[in-house]
Amino acid sequence: MLKRQWKHREIMYLFFVLPALIFFGVFVIYPFIKNFLITFYSWDGINEMKFVGLEQYKKALFQSPDFWKPIKNAAFLALMGITVQNGLALLLAWIVDKELKGARFYRVIFFIPPMLSFVVIGFLWKWILEPNQGILNIFLKNIGLGKWALAWLGLRETALPTVAMVNIWASFGWGFVMFLAALQGIERDIYEAARIDGANNFQEFWKITFPLLLPIITSVSILTILGAMQQFDLIYVMTGGGPAGATEVPVNQMYMQAFQNGMWGYATTLGVLLGVILFLISIFQLQIKKWLVDW
């Protein structure tokens, strides 16, 4: 009797989750599988698809710079994100957590850039960095550093680092908020005990704060890498992938292949390959997190 009642309940539960399951299946699982299948076809986005097997994977991985060059650029953005962006976010969160005067004000200020869209940020910085009338170069010239007044987005050497700096400016607020929340979750008693034992600020940070923050550092790092590797709007607005392809990133390349060259199958292949790379990076980072926590 009880068993029958339980079975009945199970069916009822299934009915409760069914709408969500259907929604998830139709809008997530099906497009995911369909997307993967398209990579085996040459497709102009409108007409019938032509089966080409692994041809597009071969082209992307071994025959053309369309994939690896943008991946290299995106990897640079990710590297800058993990080191400079997250380092800055952690440092600022740590300072604000020290009950600094006006901490609330800084909390708001640091969180303003992430509230803006990348398109707005792109135009704003493009205006600031304009080589002839931009306020950065005018400022540099006025303080006697005219030699440093470069065409920041127009030179191969400076374009990608400049975009990376703007990306950092636009994104560090997310890490800041997450680090601050984690810092505030650490029991103050631990610090008091450490102080009684004679620990200085650096030791407190290195022996208490950092180990306790490791899980959140890993999560923020994964999000930073995912965000940087999928950057598009900022590059599209600021450089369009130039000069001479110096700032091309994977999503930018996909957009061009799909919408400019009408090669939807190939663009989808680039997307799947990027997805695989991001998946592997995330697995690797989670393994590192596990290893660090065990250690």
Q: How far is the CB of 102 from other proteins (least distance, A)?
A: 37
Single residue of 49, 76, 107, 126 touching other proteins by CB under 8 A? 126
Pick between residue 125 and residue 174 the one whose CB is nearest to other proteins: 125
Region 217-256 residues binding other proteins, contact defined as CB under 8 A: 238-245, 256
Shortest distance in whole angstroms from residue 130 CB to other proteins: 7
- 5 scored as a contact of other proteins (CB under 8 A): no
Scan residues 31-90 and list those touching other proteins (CB under 8 A).
44-47, 59, 63-64
Contact predicate 273/37, CB 8 Å: no
Judged by CB under 8 A, the stretch of 95-103, 128-136, 180-188, 210-218 that binds other proteins is: 128-136
d(CA 119, CA 286): 32
- The window from 79-87, 122-130, 184-192, 280-288 that contacts other proteins (CB under 8 A) reads 122-130
Interface residues toward other proteins, by CB under 8 A: 44-47, 59, 63-64, 126, 129-133, 151-156, 159, 238-245, 256, 259-263
